[in-house]
Structure 1
Amino acid sequence: MDNRAEIISECINNTVMGQTWLMPYHFLRHWMLVIIDSDDHTCYYLDPLRKSPPNDLKNLMNNVSSHIKRKTGRNEKNYKWKIVNFSRQTSSVECGFYIIRMMKDYCLNETPMRWLTSNCGGKNTNTLGEINETRNEWAAKLLERMSHS
């Protein structure tokens, strides 16, 4: 059994009603994001290159469902996939910043699921200022952590 599936299934199995999981996913040198709604058995897939979910990711989530079914005996069904169009990255190296920004925007939104299902408010791309803001925030957090070591 894929250790990743076991870890994810444990998290999902301990989910309370209305809770979602944000799962950054790195595959073939590219970051994407899955927002898991376990109440609705839906994976919302966000890719700044706007590609389809890779089979590796779909298989992982199928393994999560199988693991939950074996562990709990529940009739766990496979997850549905919904592709969310959000900011398209403009270069080949900024996917991580787009995913971090997406997670921040989702978490700070008053109605995150409504915002998510409206394709993130229809935003087409992040500005250089937004990317730099994300870079600066993460650099500041990293320096803060390093100074406490």
Structure 2
Amino acid sequence: MPMATQDRIDPAIGGYTSGNTLAYTETYPLPHEPSLNPHGNGYISNTQIVEKSGDLDIETQAGRTFSIQNPNILNRVDGKPFSYKINAPPMQKLLASPDSYHFKRAEFADHEIYVTKYKEDELFSGVKFTNQSRGRHGIKR
């Protein structure tokens, strides 16, 4: 069975005290109207800052993308916050039953992205040795 990755990202854009944030951008088509979108190829993007810890999914109807950005460092070309886009590989979400040990041990595998505040001693979202845990000690505790 393929194992989901549980990488921790700590980019420190501009240093550790400079206000790095996670944002997601969703893109929607504009209605095909003569005054607003005469050729039918227009779209609009909306970016939201992730305000609290939790789980997030990439697969939505809106074509969601994620970026880690620093609002205190602006790109000289477009004036937007300097950021790193997160390119998550396609993955099969966890198929095990939520009451199984497989699910309890790999609870990080039910969503593509989990957002948490930085803690120095938390290196793995599913505890250090996921396959040896009894479960419920990882990201959802």
Q: With the length of structure 1 as denominator, give the TM-score of the two structures.
A: 0.26
Higher strand share: 2
Higher helix share: 1
- Structure with greater contact order relative to length (CA < 8 Å, sep ≥ 6): 2
